[in-house]
Amino acid sequence: MPKYAMVIDLQRCVGCGACSIACRNENNVSEGIYWSSKITETSGTFPNVRFHYLPTLCNHCSNPPCVTGCPTKAMHKLDNGITMHDPKKCIGCRYCMYNCPYEVIYFNWQDPHKFWKDDRPVINGGTSSPKEIAKKVNNGNGTPYSNPARAKTLPENRPKGVVEKCTFCDHRLKAGEIPFCVVACPADARIFGDLDKPDSKVSRLLGKFKPYRRKERLGTQPNVYYIRSYNPASYARTKGGI
């Protein structure tokens, strides 16, 4: 069985957000939910300031607190290392969200894609309603741009009252394809592969560069690794002074 992992090369990442947009399209992610997100920070004080950007997603931890806490095994581990959620078993207690130290699990507070269920025309007497467009293009299934491939392993659109999160595009992996955020990254900053294969790209990168993972001290053993750091700034060599 493979052990899937992702390496994010922060020297290559330009913070364009293409990964997040690709994720939304591929997985029919609803408004207010972010399977793929980011942490931005500004350090220093003006004029000596710097902007930092860290792409985030579910870490698919080897020791996941969300799985330990889930009372009905709706949140569970697959043999290939993916932390998966099953909306059929989810009772909506949100204890996984409470337990996740990375804040990458989201809850469907209301029906998904509310906008596309609105039967009021955008312009009265001038345009059709969002509901009519969704009905015409995609038989009313979520949005007009809904991706039916997502339905291979999860409901195409997850219902109200359950949690959801990144699945490493498990439906694509089943079809022999890599996650769509990796495909969409214009800078090839995301590298995906099997950690059990010593010659895989991810294994090689982790051997070549010192990786780090978020909140490693907690012992959750994330399978999303970060390498390098982008910083084009330079400074004149100095020993400082008092």
Partner 1 sequence: MKAIKIQLWYGLLLLGILLGLLTAYRVLISSGFVLYAKTDILVWTMPIAAYVFFSLTSSGLAFVSSIPVVFNIKRYQPLEKRIVFLEIAVLVAAFTCLFLHLGSPQKLYYYIFSPNFASPLWWLGILYGLYLIILLLSFRKIQAGKVSRGLGIFAFIVAIATSTSLGWLFGLPDARPVLDANFLSMYFPLTGFASALAAVLMFSLAYHHFAQIVLSEGDKNLYDDLSKLFGFVMALTLVFFLWRTIVGGVSATAVEFAGFRHMLGSGWYHLALWVGLVIPIVLIAMPSVRTATWGKITAAVLFLVGMFAGRMEMVLTSLVMPTGPKAEGQPPFVSYWPTIWEVFVFVSALAVLLLIYTLGERHLKLAESTE
Binding site for partner 1 (CB under 8 A): 32, 34, 37-40, 56, 65, 68-74, 88-95, 97-104, 106-111, 160-163, 214, 218, 220
Q: What angle do CA 214, 79, 20 make, to 5 degrees?
A: 45
- Shortest spacing between CB 81 and partner 1, in angstroms: 19
Nearer to partner 1, 105 or 169 (CB): 105
- Shortest spacing between CB 34 and partner 1, in angstroms: 7
Nearer to partner 1, 74 or 181 (CB): 74
Phi-psi region of 169 (alpha: psi -120 to 50; beta: other; left: phi over 0): left
Separation CA 193–CA 4 (nearest Å): 6
Nearer to partner 1, 55 or 81 (CB): 55
- Shortest spacing between CB 61 and partner 1, in angstroms: 11
Q: How many CB atoms lie within 10 A of CB 192?
A: 19
Q: Give pairs for 136-144: CB < 8 Å, separation 24+.
A: 142/28, 142/112, 142/113, 142/116, 143/28, 143/113, 143/116, 144/116
Nearer to partner 1, 53 or 209 (CB): 53
- Shortest spacing between CB 53 and partner 1, in angstroms: 11
